[in-house]
Chain A
Amino acid sequence: MPSVSEICSNLPRDKRVACRRSTAGLLQRQWLQELVWGADQDSAWQVQIWLGVFPVNWRQLIDPDLLTQQMSTIRNNLKGTFGDLLGAMVLDPALQISLNGPANQQHNPNENLARELLELFSLGEGNYTETDVREAARALSGYKLNKSRQLQLDPRRHDPGMKTILGRTANFDGVSLASWLSEQPATARNISLRLWRRLVGPQPSAQRLGTLASGWRESNLSIPWLMKAIQSAPEAIESKRQGLRLTDPLEVTARSLRLLGSRHPDAVAIALRGLRSMGQMPFEPPSVKGWPVNEQWINLRRLQERRRTLQALLTDEEVWAGARLPTELSSNITPIKPLNISLPAKASRDNLALLFTDPVWQLA
């Protein structure tokens, strides 16, 4: 996991901007390296997927190092249940601060976190009313960062009264609200759908989504169960076989770096610069909805950026000097046959260029 320790808000005011920028830059470099070459890539990519569900842009934080806390919380919950993960995210400093959580107080309500919690992190659009949002905001009021940088309920700012949310009246706070939301069938559907779209690509049928969501609820929203159920669905296997999903920029960049094998710092720098123009710089999600998935990435300029970045990786002499190439480009490195080059082929610079600019290289 990335480790940065600088707490920028402890510095004098004029040093903070530079501190935030360098902290974020360090995080981005470390995280990309972990996704590409890390010892436990499977967990790293799962964390990345959940960072798309609970997205925080470092620019929204006075202390970008809070993102490392969010990431270890996610990682610690990967083998657990979505209910626990949601509870942990509702109390996560980075996520709360990015959605004005600490500004939400009994006598000065701010509904930002409550609304996104209902709309994006749990139930999904159309499954709640404006009253639910207001009541959820009351439940979430009064959390404050304490000295050990955890969120704590401040009784002077919290609204202690009864709240009625989705038909249940109780003295909700953040934890009991998260647990009540995770019991809702709509939550299982919404989250299954979000993960399905990211892992499989094409929309699931209503029937598939229904089976998946109810199976997931029976497993008590076990995260490993959901991952496995999605990936072993016939549509997922078919999608993999036929390359029906368009990769995220981060995936295709990681895949290209791995094939090239060069760990020269310029390779990481070129990749990060490219990720920004391709639209998927780590820790810079475009909105609280997270990143686009599959066909939502199709945009001419961004597709051009993908090619340009992968080509830039090949044209840098120092990066190339550090390349550790396989003996040949085997035919199983793409899901279907590339259009520009026939595989297997010699792992030459020219052949890599043909592969990297091939639309099929963009498919998962």
Chain B
Amino acid sequence: MKRRVLLSLLASASASAALASGSLNVARAADLRRRHVLVLLELRGGNDGLNTLVPFRDPLYRAARPSLALQDALPLTDTLGLHPALAPLLPLWQQKRLGFAQGVGWSRPNRSHFKSADQWATANPSGEGPGWLASAFDQRRSTGPLVALDPAGSSAMEGGKALALQLSPVQLESGNSKILYPDLAGNNSVLRQMLALEQIGQAEIAKLRQQLMPLPVGVKIPKGNLGQQIALALRLIGSASCPPVLQLAQGGYDTHANQLVRHNRVLGDLAKALVAFDTGLQTIPNRPQVTLVSVSEFGRRLQENGSRGSDHGSASIAILYGDRIPQPLLGSYPSLSLLDERGDLIPSISPPQLYENVLKQTFPV
């Protein structure tokens, strides 16, 4: 990191600290409501879009998936239904707080989880360069912080000038560590940079931790990692200085075998967590606007495999949730008859287009 960047980070960190120490007055409450929080939800493993938002009337769907086709999808439109495990989300759909981007993906995506995750994180087919959120914040000259709540962090947030932090539920329990001042480094440049960065990070984390709201009363947080992340997200959103970007992650979507049971379980956990998130948000009086978008490496093949599962495919769906969902269904559902040469669904929205759409709503330039 360049020295100039460090200095500007230091300046912005102290400026926002001064801001946060002021009392919460009326103007501030209005200001909070004008602000926006973008929540990035990473569904790791490659979520099966076809069995999430289901083209349940399409005979091609049933033909390609003799053991996986869902018989009991919950109709949202004439042609599309929700996986039954997502039933708790139906009220959110009716309230127009839930939507889907259809046919999202790279055309002919790389089949590797690793490469594909990099492509999504960077919004670049090469998979190289800074994360898309890091770039967006640099472009807006905003310093963040961008906060990952999953212990593995999020490469979408890294590689830019904005401060990318990780605040996992575990870290909240550990005490404050001793602050080491950059001056201790003398003229050792690399040590000085490390100490300066650690100092900023520690100060930001201490500030976030100090200002955390208690968990809203009456919200039932589901067990498991995602539930813990949702709880922490709610406490941050309720605090006076919620970071503009939060990341959550849930694993278990790589359903090569025995998909019905496994997909049912992860989607059920996801639905419970989103309902808890929504219930929690409703109880927070003055809070920023919230938009959530889900990402996943790829969708899965239309044709099921020989292990009652599905292999890595192409286009899938992205979940959109929040206070201002522009339209319930973005883009068009991929055709099941017009496939690419590998037999995969053809995407109509690329990841960069999805991101642009979300950023336009949340952080217009």
Please name all residues of chain A whose beta carbon is closer than 8 Å to the beta carbon of B201 when the two chains form the complex: 300, 304
User: Per-residue 0/1 for A55-92: is the Cβ within 8 Å of any B Cβ (1 yes, 0 no)?
Assistant: 00101000000000000000000000000000000000
| Contact, CB under 8 Å: B114 / A359 | no
- Whole-angstrom distance between the Cβ of A302 and the nearest chain B Cβ: 9
Q: Given the known inter-chain contacts A59-B112, A359-B198, please indicate yes or no for A243 contacting B158, CB distance below 8 A.
A: no
CB distance from B182 to the nearest CB of A (A): 10
Q: Which residues on the B side are within 8 Å of A25 (C-beta)?
A: none
Known: A301-B166, A362-B194. A202 touches B188 (CB 8 A): no
Which of A29-37, A126-134, A291-299, A325-333 contacts its partner?
A291-299
A-contacting residues, B93-150, CB 8 Å: 112, 114-115, 127-128, 148
- CB 8 Å contact bits of B189-203 with A (1 = contact, 0 = none): 111011101101100
B194 near A299 with CB under 8 A, answer: no
Is A28 part of the binding interface, using a Cβ–Cβ cutoff of 8 Å? no
Q: Which of the residues B152, B178, B193, B200 comes within 8 Å of A277, measured between beta carbons?
A: B152
Q: Are A363 and B190 in contact (CB under 8 A)?
A: yes
Identify B190's interface contact among A57, A59, A298, CB under 8 A: A298
Inside 8 A of A304's CB, which chain B residues have their CB? 166, 201
Contacting B at CB under 8 A, from A310-364, are 336, 339-340, 357, 359-360, 362-363
Given contacts A339-B184, A359-B180, contact A300 B190 (CB under 8 A): no
A363 contacts B191, C-beta separation under 8 Å: yes
Please give, as numbers and ranges, the residues of chain B lying within 8 Å of A339 by CB-CB distance.
180, 184
Contact with A along B170-184 (1 / 0, CB 8 A): 000000011010001
B222 an interface residue at 8 Å Cβ cutoff? Answer: no
State how many angstroms separate the Cβ of A215 from the closest Cβ of chain B. Answer: 27
**Residues 278-299 of chain A, each 1 if its beta carbon lies under 8 Å from chain B, else 0:** 0000000001000000110011
Query: Is A300 a contact of B164 with CB atoms below 8 Å?
Result: yes
Q: Is B281 an interface residue (CB 8 A)?
A: no
Interface presence of B1 (CB below 8 A): yes
Question: If A59-B112, A301-B153, A359-B195 touch, does A336 touch B148 (CB 8 Å cutoff)?
Answer: no
**At the interface, yes or no: A144 with Cβ under 8 Å from chain B?**
no
Q: Which chain B residue has the least Cβ–Cβ distance from A295? A: B190
Provide the residues of chain B in CB contact with A359, threshold 8 Å: 180, 191, 194-195, 198
The answer on a CB contact under 8 Å between B180 and A303 is no
Interface residues on B, range: 20 to 34
Q: Tell whether, in the assembled complex, residue B189 and residue A244 are in contact, meaning their CB atoms are under 8 Å apart.
A: yes
Q: Is B349 an interface residue (CB 8 A)?
A: no
Contacts of A242 in B (CB 8 A): 188
A59 / chain B contacts, CB cutoff of 8 Å: 112, 114-115
The answer to whether A246 and B198 touch across the interface, beta carbons within 8 angstroms, is no
With a cutoff of 8 Å between Cβ atoms, the chain B residues found around residue A115 in the complex are none
- Chain A hits for B127, CB < 8 A: 287
In the complex with contacts A244-B189, A339-B180, A298-B194 CB distance below 8 A: yes
Q: Is B163 an interface residue (CB 8 A)?
A: yes
A245 at the interface (CB under 8 A from B): yes
B163 touches A300 (CB 8 A): yes
Given A201-B190, A202-B189, A244-B190, A298-B180 contact (CB < 8 Å):
no
- Cβ contact within 8 Å between B198 and A299: no
Quick check: is B165 within 8 A (CB to CB) of the other chain?
yes
| Contact in complex: A300, B178 (CB < 8 Å) | no
B200: A residues at CB distance < 8 A: 300
Kindly report which residue of chain A lies nearest to residue B201, judged by CB atoms.
A300
* Contact residues, B195-244 vs A (CB, 8 A): 195, 197-198, 200-201
In the bound complex, residues from chain B placing their C-beta under 8 Å from that of A277 are 152-153
19 additional A-B pairs beyond A287-B128, A301-B158, A359-B198, beta carbons within 8 Å, are A202-B189, A244-B190, A246-B190, A277-B152, A277-B153, A294-B190, A298-B190, A298-B194, A298-B197, A300-B165, A300-B166, A300-B197, A300-B198, A301-B164, A301-B165, A303-B197, A303-B198, A304-B166, A362-B194
A-B contact pairs, 9 of them (CB 8 A): A244-B188, A294-B190, A298-B190, A298-B194, A298-B197, A339-B180, A359-B180, A359-B191, A359-B194
The 10 closest A-B pairs by CB, nearest first: A300-B201, A246-B190, A301-B153, A301-B166, A359-B194, A295-B190, A298-B193, A300-B197, A59-B114, A339-B180
